[in-house]
Every structure is written in structure tokens, then in C-alpha cells.
Chains A and B, each alone.
Chain A
Amino acid sequence: MTSVAILAEAAGRVGTGEAITFWVLTPVALVGAIGMVWARNAVHSALFLVLTMLSLGVFYVLQAGPFIGMVQIIVYTGAIIMLFLFVLMLVGRDASDSLIETLRGQRTAAIVLGVGFAGLICTMLARGLTSMADKGLGAANKDGNVQGIAALLFTRYVFAFEVTSALLITAAVGAMILAHVEKRKEDKVNQPAMMRRRFAPGNYPGPKPGPGVFATSNSVATPARLPDGTPADRSISPILPVRELTAAEAAPKGTEE
């Protein structure tokens, strides 16, 4: 019996295993989709998308579409999302997108258009599932779905398929051009150069003093004091604001006898 015949027979019936898998994976897919939109961190967003894509892949396999299921997993989760992650890592993953609307009415427009698009898809699906008969599906699946795709790929579209490699090479080269900064040999600092710089005049070679932690307070933002009582700037990290202590904070705290 061909897979088409099996499919035709199975139309309208849902097996127990299928139902269980569906009800288990549907919430997962939905959580992934919602999480992808809600996550503040771009990497988390991408990982949520992986979750959704994987669930979809399982659904396809469940629907007797092994080829599209595998393509979904290999191409989407395996390649595209991983590329996406690579790009995030290359570009830097610090989320700095502002939540202020730069285009006025953008949010409203997005909601209206999104709802409209969802409506369009749902109506189309409903029509397709109820009132339309498939056309040419049997002929296309005559020798099996995967075999049919393979036959087309290796006969009629073999040239387009091969030329796609040029596209992929261009994309890879483009990513390299736009994201990769090659370190030149002159820019690399070796150990002798570093040591020379350390002991060069004008640089204090010893370790920097620690901050004034425990001397007057327990914050690393408190500078250490030089013998004359002035704060030592080198003792705290340059990115920390110098914290001035109030008199009450600076007052010695007596221990209980």
C-alpha cells in the first residue's frame, strides 16, 4: 500500500499516539512562539524559536510528511537558527533596543495588520480544508513524496538547485565581509612587548591597590585612602562612580561588648 493510500484511509481519523503527541507538543510549540516574541534577550528568543521549530518538525513527521519534517529540523533548527545564533554572537548580544516607538502608530498598525493576517490565514485554511479538493496531489505523490521531490530536483530543476550553491557562497562571503575583522600581525601584542610596556617610564609596574573595602565600608566603590587621607583613584575600577560616604556611614560602628 502506498503512503497516499494510507493517507487517504487515515483521513479524518486521529490515532491515540498521534493525539497524545499533538496535545503534548502543542503547548510546547505555543510557549516557544510566545517566548520568542516576549524574550528580552535575543539569544533566548532564538532558542525559543528552536523549540517551536522542533515541535513543528515532529508534527510534520506525525502527519506522514517525513521529508518536510526532516527538512524542518535540519534546515530551520539546524542551519538557519544556528546561523542566527552565530550572527548574534558575532555582532554582540547586548540587547539595546529601545521600547520607545520611533514610528508613530507603529504598534497599533502592527496589531491591526497582525490580526488581519491571522484572519486571512485562518479563512484560507478553513476554505482549503472544507470546500476545496486537492488537485494533482495523487500524481505528484505517485512514487512517494520524497521520491517525487528528488525526481524534480534531479531532473527539471537540477540547474537551479546547483546554482543555489553560488547564492550560498555569496551569502557566506558577504557575512565574512560585513562582520569579520582580521587581526593584523602588527596589532598582536606579544609577551616581551607587554613587559616592555609595563616597565616603560610613566607606568607603575606593581599591582594596583585594592579598594577601601572593610576599611570604612563594604562597597567596592569605596576608594582606598592614601597615607595623607586623599582617595586613591587607582584603587577602584574606572567604570564605578566614586561613592561618598555620609557621616553616619563613615562613623565607626562599635561592636557590642
Chain B
Amino acid sequence: MILTQEALKLPQINYVALSPMLILFGAATVGVLVEAFAGRGRRYPVQLGLSLVSLVAALVMVVRVAHTRELTAGGAVAVDGPALFLEGTLAVLGIVALLLVAERSLEPGGPFVAVAAVTAGTEADRVQAQRRDAGTEVYPLLLFALGGMMLFVSANDLLTMFVALEVFSLPLYLMCGLARRRRLLSQEAALKYFLLGAFASAFFLFGIAMIYGYAGQINFAAIHEAIQSSTNDRILLYLGLALLAIGLLFKAAAVPFHVWTPDVYQGAPTPVTAFMAACTKVAAFGALLRVIYVAFERTAWDLRLVIGGIAVLTMVVGSVLAVTQTDIKRLLAYSSIANAGYLLVGVLAVGGNGNHDGLASSMFYLVAYGFSVVAAFGVVTLVRDADGEATHLSRWAGLGRRSPLYAGLFTFLLLAFAGIPLTSGFTSKFAVFGAALASGQAWLVVLGAITSVILAFPYLRVVVLVWLSEPGENTPTVSIPGALTSAALAIGALATLLLGIAPQPLLDLSSRAAEFVR
């Protein structure tokens, strides 16, 4: 029985519409070959150039296919408004994060270890700590992660989504363990993230099996149909949805699936933390929005209470624990958890009857938060002493006297996180809460406002510490950033300011893009 060409109808693949992620995967593969064949000294410029060019090319292709609305590759990938909007977001935030990753002027060799396989703390490790070069494997890994994220936000069936989840998670686990300083902490973070991430993936996969048991299909449109027409036990549906949500909310760092976040954010090299805080959030929420809007819209009523409860928990736990932190990276990690809560409020504004304000505002929030958080972690990389970054809050006292420019920049970013008007934090929170109010989720908005006030406290504490204390003996210096970090900081801060003053163009763009194809 040989299948003939007629019997097997091969799917049409719209390569142009898929080109953003294909470019990234291709460039990443070339990057791996560069690792194998280019001389050690030549790898850094080649890898950096390759990554930048491919990300810009991906962004250009996203813009060129911006009006595509179709399912391609046999219905496995949806190229629609939200997918393209988030792919563009990922490309831009990826470029900004790449600038931080590639910075080498702050310390010799940059933030990444030269040979990660050398056991930490041994004689060989002390020798390699003196080396002025660094491993460049992080560039192809970054591209693989971004390509996987792009597929993750545009996957149209659960299996493709799962493969994409693994494709972007694996490079992230690896990148977390590549810090040049405090290597044991970094490796511990990588292992923690890997183990917990593997658990979350298993939950996700188990959820897929349950959904398949209920709907007999894993395609989103088919699940959408099955929820109305299937006569199977709905327990399977709810069980599957819950397990699926665990997998997605883990990546989004929502309480109670957040425990990895502070440890991993603290242990990972700071540029990688910035990348995770910005891009992983975009990917996780993009996928969550797609799953809820496209496949499970008809169970939105059942979902509301559960996801609403998680949103409340996330906002409250994130903001309350942020108050108690003494490490700037952990503080930003808890702040990112609380922001996941605000994003969930936007996700919950799923209206059903054509009201896609929730979707548009969530996408706007992802862009605004991404720029601010990359810039904030960029400032964290600048505050250093002889042992590398000085992240303990007590060390930041009086930093405003030492370097008014960067202290001012950081203050501005913290005010944006706190949601002060004229920053992107205000407009994005306003948009999300507005959408939630319009769909009748007033209780969430009230809780969101309360936790925003709680969350403002740790930010203002840092501001007070930085500006109103005298610099002491051991106040670290603020390094003069190289061109790459300067560019990243400038882009992040400008975007935060622009989206606060003139958010309308991006709001329009996101609301025009806010229509899934099914």
C-alpha cells in the first residue's frame, strides 16, 4: 500500500508569512556552525552581527506581511493580527535584550562565562575567570529561544504549541547557567528552572491528552466546535484546561506557579534576566490569550472565577512579597510577578461578543512592560563593584549622588512600574483596567488598584534610598556603559516615555491587530 501523491494532500505552507521565525531558526543554525568553524577571536563580532541582522530581518518581514490573516502549514500555525503583533514585539524586545547580552565593556569578556563546563570553584575556574574572552554560544541560543517564542504565540494546535514551548524553554534553561560571576548561583538557578519547567511541560502535555480525550482533536478551532457539540464528559475538558493553564501560567510566573521566578531572576546573568522578564512574558501571555480566545472562548464563564482568583493571588502575593525584598533583582522579579497579575486582569476581559479591548490592552501592556523591564535590568548591570554587580539594596544607598543620570533613569523606570502618569506604566495599566471594567470585572480592578499602591511602596523605598541617603564607604560605582548598553537603555527609556505621552498610535495598532483567526 503505497500512498500516492493524490491520496496524500500535502499542506500549503506560506513561507513568506512564516519567514520571521524561519529567519531566526536559520540564523541560529548558522550561528551554531559559526561556533564550530570560526576562529575564537572572530566569533563575537560574527555572532553579534548575524543575530542583529537576522532579528532586524525578522522584524522587517513581520512588517511586510502585516496584513496576512490566514492559517498555514496544514492549520498548525495561525498568522493573524495578534500573532504578528507579538512576533514584532518579540523581535524588537529581542534586539534590545541582545544589546545587553552583547555588552563587553562593563567587564572584560562580558557577563558570560568562557567555558561553562569547567567546574565552579576549582583551580581551572580561577584561571578562566582571568580570561578576557567569553563563550558565544549564547547568541544562537537566544535566536532559537526567540524563534520558539514566535511559534509559541502563533501555534494553532496544542501539539505545535507544546513543541514551541520546549523550543524556547531549553535555550532559556541553558542561558541561565552561563553567568561569569557567582557561577554556582547561576547553575543552581538553571537547574531549578529546568526541573520546574520540565514539571510544567509535563502538566501541559497531560492537559493536551485530557483535551484530546474530550474533543478528539487538538486543533483550536476543532476544540472550539467540540465544546459546543461534544457529548463527552466535561470533567475531561475542565481537567485538561486546568493542566494546560498550569503549564502556561508557570511560564507567565503567576502565583502559585511563581516560586522559581525570584531565584532564577537572581541567579541568571542579568541580560538573560532582562530577556526572560520581557520576552518570556510576551510569549507566555500571547499563548495564554490565544488558547483562551480561540479554543476555550465558550468556557470563558467557567474560566473567569479560577483565572480571576489566580490574578488576585498573583497581584497580592507579588506586591506584598516585593515589599520585603532586599535584593534589587529579586525585587524586580516580584514586581514582574505582580505585573503578570495585571496582565491576567487584561486576559480576563475576554468579552466574547466582539469586544476585544482586553486582548488589545494586554498586548499593549506586554510591549510597554517589556521595554521598561529591559531598561531596568540594564541599569542593574551598571551598578558594580570589584565582585561584579552589587545587587543588595543597601549597597544602592546614595547612588543618586554618585551618578545622577543613571539614578534618575532608574527612578523614572520605577515610577513607570508604579504606574505614575506620563509613563507607559500608567497608560498600560489604564488600558487593561479600562477593558476589565468594560467587561464587568470591577472587583479585579479594585484589587488591582489596591495592589498597585502596595507595589508603589518598594519602588519608592528604592527611590528614597538612592536619592536621600549619603553614599557610604562601600557604595559601588556606576560604570560608564558601552555603546550597546547605552543604546538599550536609551531605547527602553524612550519607549517608556513615548508610550506614556503619546500611546495612541500603538494602542490603535494593537486594537487593529486584536482579531484572532480561527
Task: Give A residues with C-beta under 8 Å from B.
Answer: 136, 143-144, 147, 150-151, 154-160, 163-164, 166-167, 169-171, 173-174, 176-182
Name which residue of chain A comes closest to B145, CB basis: A170
Task: Give B residues with C-beta under 8 Å from A.
Answer: 1, 3, 7-11, 13, 18, 25, 28-29, 32, 35, 73-77, 115-118, 124, 135, 137, 140-141, 144, 147-148, 151, 157, 159-160, 163-164, 166-167, 170-171, 173-174, 177-178, 216
Q: How distant is the Cα of A151 from the Cα of B166 in the complex, in angstroms?
A: 24
B75's contact among A156, A170, A178, by CB below 8 Å, is which? A156
A157's contact among B7, B35, B160, by CB below 8 Å, is which? B160
Q: Are A166 and B117 in contact (CB under 8 A)?
A: no
Q: Are B151 and A163 in contact (CB under 8 A)?
A: yes
- A166-B25, A169-B29 known; A157 and B117 CB under 8 Å? no
Name which residue of chain B comes closest to A171, CB basis: B170
Supply 29 A–B pairs (Cβ within 8 Å), ascending by A. A143-B1, A155-B8, A155-B9, A155-B10, A158-B13, A159-B13, A159-B76, A159-B77, A160-B163, A163-B160, A163-B167, A166-B25, A166-B28, A166-B29, A166-B147, A166-B148, A167-B166, A169-B32, A169-B144, A170-B141, A170-B144, A173-B137, A174-B170, A177-B117, A177-B135, A177-B178, A178-B174, A181-B118, A181-B124
- Write the nearest CB–CB distance from A137 to chain B, whole angstroms: 13
Q: How distant is the Cα of A143 from the Cα of B8 in the complex, in angstroms?
A: 11
Name which residue of chain A comes closest to B187, CB basis: A178
Q: How distant is the Cα of A141 from the Cα of B333 in the complex, in angstroms?
A: 50
- Write the nearest CB–CB distance from B133 to chain A, whole angstroms: 11
Beyond known contacts A173-B32, A174-B171, A178-B174: 12 more, CB 8 A cutoff: A147-B3, A158-B13, A159-B74, A160-B159, A160-B160, A170-B141, A170-B144, A170-B167, A173-B174, A176-B137, A178-B117, A180-B117
Q: How distant is the Cα of A101 from the Cα of B477 in the complex, in angstroms?
A: 47
A164's contact among B116, B124, B163, by CB below 8 Å, is which? B163
Q: Are A151 and B3 in contact (CB under 8 A)?
A: yes
Name which residue of chain B comes closest to A152, CB basis: B74
Q: How distant is the Cα of A177 from the Cα of B138 in the complex, in angstroms?
A: 10
Instruction: Return chain B residues, CB-CB under 8 Å to A169.
Output: 28-29, 32, 144
Q: Are B141 and A182 in contact (CB under 8 A)?
A: no
Q: Are A167 and B76 in contact (CB under 8 A)?
A: no
B11's contact among A150, A158, A171, by CB below 8 Å, is which? A158
Name which residue of chain A comes closest to B1, CB basis: A144
Q: How distant is the Cα of A235 from the Cα of B13 in the complex, in angstroms?
A: 74
Name which residue of chain A comes closest to B76, CB basis: A159
Instruction: Return chain A residues, CB-CB under 8 Å to B177.
Output: 178
Instruction: Return chain B residues, CB-CB under 8 Å to A151.
Output: 3, 8
Q: How distant is the Cα of A166 from the Cα of B152 in the complex, in angstroms?
A: 14
Q: Are A154 and B159 in contact (CB under 8 A)?
A: no
- Write the nearest CB–CB distance from A183 to chain B, whole angstroms: 11
A interface: dominant SS: helix
A159's contact among B144, B160, B166, by CB below 8 Å, is which? B160
Q: How distant is the Cα of A136 from the Cα of B1 in the complex, in angstroms?
A: 20
Instruction: Return chain A residues, CB-CB under 8 Å to B73.
Output: 158-159
Q: How distant is the Cα of A181 from the Cα of B7 in the complex, in angstroms?
A: 51
Q: How distant is the Cα of A174 from the Cα of B140 in the complex, in angstroms?
A: 11
- Write the nearest CB–CB distance from B236 to chain A, whole angstroms: 13
Instruction: Return chain A residues, CB-CB under 8 Å to B25.
Output: 163, 166
Q: How distant is the Cα of A157 from the Cα of B163 in the complex, in angstroms?
A: 11
Q: How distant is the Cα of A174 from the Cα of B172 in the complex, in angstroms?
A: 11
- A160-B160, A166-B148, A170-B174 known; A154 and B76 CB under 8 Å? no
Instruction: Return chain B residues, CB-CB under 8 Å to A167.
Output: 163, 166-167, 170
- Write the nearest CB–CB distance from B24 to chain A, whole angstroms: 9
Q: How distant is the Cα of A214 from the Cα of B144 in the complex, in angstroms?
A: 66
Name which residue of chain A comes closest to B170, CB basis: A170
- Write the nearest CB–CB distance from B498 to chain A, whole angstroms: 34
Q: How distant is the Cα of A154 from the Cα of B3 in the complex, in angstroms?
A: 12
Q: How distant is the Cα of A96 from the Cα of B302 in the complex, in angstroms?
A: 52
Instruction: Return chain B residues, CB-CB under 8 Å to A158.
Output: 11, 13, 73-74, 76
Instruction: Return chain B residues, CB-CB under 8 Å to A174.
Output: 170-171, 173-174
Instruction: Return chain B residues, CB-CB under 8 Å to A171.
Output: 170
Q: Are B3 and A143 in contact (CB under 8 A)?
A: yes
Instruction: Return chain B residues, CB-CB under 8 Å to A164.
Output: 163
Q: Are B11 and A173 in contact (CB under 8 A)?
A: no
- A177-B117, A178-B177 known; A154 and B8 CB under 8 Å? yes
Name which residue of chain B comes closest to A148, CB basis: B3
Q: Are B117 and A181 in contact (CB under 8 A)?
A: yes
- A155-B8, A155-B74, A178-B116 known; A173 and B167 CB under 8 Å? no
Instruction: Return chain B residues, CB-CB under 8 Å to A155.
Output: 8-11, 74
Instruction: Return chain A residues, CB-CB under 8 Å to B141.
Output: 170, 173
Q: How distant is the Cα of A117 from the Cα of B115 in the complex, in angstroms?
A: 42
Instruction: Return chain B residues, CB-CB under 8 Å to A136.
Output: 216
Q: How distant is the Cα of A181 from the Cα of B157 in the complex, in angstroms?
A: 40
Q: How distant is the Cα of A147 from the Cα of B25 in the complex, in angstroms?
A: 29
Instruction: Return chain A residues, CB-CB under 8 Å to B151.
Output: 163
- Write the nearest CB–CB distance from A146 to chain B, whole angstroms: 9
Name which residue of chain A comes closest to B74, CB basis: A156
A179's contact among B28, B117, B163, by CB below 8 Å, is which? B117
Q: How distant is the Cα of A143 from the Cα of B3 in the complex, in angstroms?
A: 8
Q: How distant is the Cα of A235 from the Cα of B144 in the complex, in angstroms?
A: 57
Q: How distant is the Cα of A154 from the Cα of B13 in the complex, in angstroms?
A: 12
Q: How distant is the Cα of A147 from the Cα of B7 in the complex, in angstroms?
A: 11
For A171, A177, A180, the residue with the greatest tally of chain B CB atoms inside 10 Å of its CB is: A177
Name which residue of chain A comes closest to B127, CB basis: A187
Instruction: Return chain B residues, CB-CB under 8 Å to A150.
Output: 3
Q: How distant is the Cα of A161 from the Cα of B483 in the complex, in angstroms?
A: 40
Q: How distant is the Cα of A69 from the Cα of B271 in the complex, in angstroms?
A: 46
Instruction: Return chain A residues, CB-CB under 8 Å to B164.
Output: 163
- The 9 A-B residue pairs with the shortest CB-CB distance, nearest first, are A159-B73, A160-B160, A160-B163, A156-B74, A170-B170, A174-B174, A181-B117, A159-B76, A177-B116
Name which residue of chain B comes closest to A90, CB basis: B117
Name which residue of chain A comes closest to B148, CB basis: A166
Q: How distant is the Cα of A167 from the Cα of B167 in the complex, in angstroms?
A: 5
- Write the nearest CB–CB distance from B384 to chain A, whole angstroms: 25
For B75, B157, B167, the residue with the greatest tally of chain A CB atoms inside 10 Å of its CB is: B167
Q: How distant is the Cα of A156 from the Cα of B73 in the complex, in angstroms?
A: 7
Q: How distant is the Cα of A156 from the Cα of B148 in the complex, in angstroms?
A: 19
Q: Are A147 and B140 in contact (CB under 8 A)?
A: no
Q: How distant is the Cα of A154 from the Cα of B216 in the complex, in angstroms?
A: 20
Q: Are B135 and A163 in contact (CB under 8 A)?
A: no
Q: Are B117 and A147 in contact (CB under 8 A)?
A: no
Q: How distant is the Cα of A170 from the Cα of B7 in the complex, in angstroms?
A: 35
Q: Are A163 and B178 in contact (CB under 8 A)?
A: no
- A159-B76, A160-B160 known; A154 and B115 CB under 8 Å? no
Q: How distant is the Cα of A174 from the Cα of B7 in the complex, in angstroms?
A: 41
Instruction: Return chain A residues, CB-CB under 8 Å to B77.
Output: 159
Q: How distant is the Cα of A224 from the Cα of B432 in the complex, in angstroms?
A: 85
Instruction: Return chain B residues, CB-CB under 8 Å to A182.
Output: 115
Q: Are B140 and A173 in contact (CB under 8 A)?
A: yes
Instruction: Return chain B residues, CB-CB under 8 Å to A166.
Output: 25, 28-29, 144, 147-148, 167
